[in-house]
Amino acid sequence: MQLTRPGPGAAGRVYLDHNATSPLLPEARAAILEALAAPGNPSSVHADGRAARRRLEHAREQIATTLGVGPEQLVFTSGGTEADNLALLQVDGPVLVSAIEHPAVLEVRPDAVRIPVNADGIVDLAALDALLEERRPALVAVMLANNETGVIQPVAEVARLAHAHGALVHVDAVQALGKLAFRFDQLGADMLAISAHKLGGPVGIGALVLGADLELRPLLRGGGQERGLRPGTGNVAAAAGFAAALACWDEGERQRLAALREQLERELLARVPEARILAAGAPRLPNTSCIALPGVAATTQLIRLDLEGISVSAGSACSAGRIGRSHVLAAMGVEPAVAASAIRVSLGWSSCEADIERFVVAWTELARQLTRAPALVSAMMRPT
């Protein structure tokens, strides 16, 4: 399916921050509106309730089928954060997490021991093996793809090692869903967190996917919804939007994004030799580029681009507008000065060639002005 709807975003802006949140796909919007127009609580026994239930279960089945699991293996949540929390809070024993996890994992179990990553941002399997031996964890969490760099992790290998030591495996696939073709069983995970709004679905819905024989301890109490695993009235419209958005993703779309990202990086490097693409040599999601311009603060770039009508982010924008030092780039051993100059450009279904061209022109101009500035200042300060 051809996904792209080329053309500028709202008010002529260029939106290149899909890893923060992607605009709502028209297909998702249509599914949501249709579901919202129908009355009914999916737990009610009358005809309206049963119709709502059918809609909810249809969405569950569609998403589950894409992941190659049964519908009973998918528990809807309020998003990726809740799905990660639910997974991490399943065990009381020691936990290992990769050093590049999202705060939705890292902050749930602050006691977790961190598995290092190499300079490409890929989890160090030898270090994991040693930690498994030493710590005997109950759970290991490694994300499928990182939100800042797009680097794809060898989760099947992680799962093999962790299972050999009797640990459960949780995979945060919030950024990978849609942008990477995978089935649950290929990952070898016991639990998988997904979220709708990173791929063009609505904000406020996600799911935890479970291995067929896994017993889940609910975090919330107060109702029998989601087989008692996640009480609360089912969000039928959001689930319908999630399923409709996911159905839009296919190999053609992934290749289209990969080609756009390739064009972006090639043109930037050709025009700005100081530019660095972080983790360029690692397997990455087709939509994400982490670009450093040593000497020019990421916030400065962000503001300049914003004034030019272009939205990107500095590192991860997932933490309430906080721009601190990126723990991901720090874990990769990126020098602090380079990390502080890194921005994240993330493409999605609405991205088109014109967006890339506008970004390249704006960023090249910014780099031309700002990387020359220090030399100019020091030349002016030189004693005559």
Bridge partners of 313, per DSSP, are 344
The residue from 53, 102, 230, 254 that contacts ligand PLP (CB under 6 A) is 102
Cβ atoms 84, 105 nearer than 8 A = yes
Helix (H, G, I), strand (E, B) or coil at 284: strand
Told to check if 98 binds ligand PLP by CB under 6 A, we report: no
Told to check if 287 binds ligand PLP by CB under 6 A, we report: no
Number of other residues whose CB lies within 10 A of the CB of residue 271:
15
The residue from 23, 40, 80, 201 that contacts ligand PLP (CB under 6 A) is 80
The residue annotated as part of the active site, out of 248, 290, 318, 352, is 318
The contacts found for 183-187 with CB under 8 angstroms, 24 or more apart, are: 183/67, 183/68, 184/67, 184/68, 184/69, 184/73, 184/209, 185/68, 185/69, 186/68, 186/156, 187/144, 187/155, 187/156, 187/159
Q: How far is the CB of 148 from ligand PLP (least distance, A)?
A: 9
Residue (73 or 147) nearer to ligand PLP, CB = 147
Backbone angles phi, psi at 79, to 5 degrees: 155, -170
From the list 44-52, 73-81, 155-163, 286-294, the region that binds ligand PLP by CB under 6 A is 73-81
The residue from 174, 210, 282, 362 that contacts ligand PLP (CB under 6 A) is 174
Helix (H, G, I), strand (E, B) or coil at 248: coil
Residue nearest to ligand PLP (CB): 80
Told to check if 351 binds ligand PLP by CB under 6 A, we report: no
Q: How far is the CB of 319 from ligand PLP (least distance, A)?
A: 8
Told to check if 95 binds ligand PLP by CB under 6 A, we report: no
Q: How far is the CB of 213 from ligand PLP (least distance, A)?
A: 25
Report how many residues bind ligand PLP under the rule CB under 6 A.
Answer: 15
Looking only at residues 141 through 170 of this chain, which bind ligand PLP when binding is defined by CB under 6 A? 143, 147
Residue (311 or 371) nearer to ligand PLP, CB = 311
Q: What is the 3-state secondary structure (H, E, C) of 128-164?
A: HHHHHHHHCCCEEECCCECCCCCEECCHHHHHHHHHH
Distance in angstroms (rounded) separating the CA atoms of residues 41 and 228: 16
Q: How far is the CB of 140 from ligand PLP (least distance, A)?
A: 16
318 is catalytic: yes
Told to check if 318 binds ligand PLP by CB under 6 A, we report: yes
Contacts of 210 (CB under 8 A, 6+ apart): 73, 74, 75, 190, 191, 216
Told to check if 327 binds ligand PLP by CB under 6 A, we report: no
Residue (81 or 311) nearer to ligand PLP, CB = 81
Told to check if 180 binds ligand PLP by CB under 6 A, we report: no
Told to check if 175 binds ligand PLP by CB under 6 A, we report: yes
Q: How far is the CB of 347 from ligand PLP (least distance, A)?
A: 15
> Helix H segments across the chain?
26-37, 47-67, 80-88, 103-106, 125-135, 155-164, 184-187, 236-247, 251-271, 298-307, 327-331, 336-339, 353-381
Told to check if 248 binds ligand PLP by CB under 6 A, we report: no
Q: What is the DSSP string of 72-124?
A: GGEEEESSHHHHHHHHHTT-SS-EEEETT--HHHHTT-TTPEEEPB-TTS-B-
Told to check if 206 binds ligand PLP by CB under 6 A, we report: yes
Residue type, 237: A
Residue type, 89: L
Residue (75 or 366) nearer to ligand PLP, CB = 75
The pair of structure tokens assigned to 323 is 């721009």
The residue from 87, 88, 104, 177 that contacts ligand PLP (CB under 6 A) is 104
Which residues are annotated as catalytic?
318
* Binding-site ranges for ligand PLP (CB under 6 A): 79-81, 84, 102, 104, 143, 147, 172, 174-175, 195, 197, 206, 318
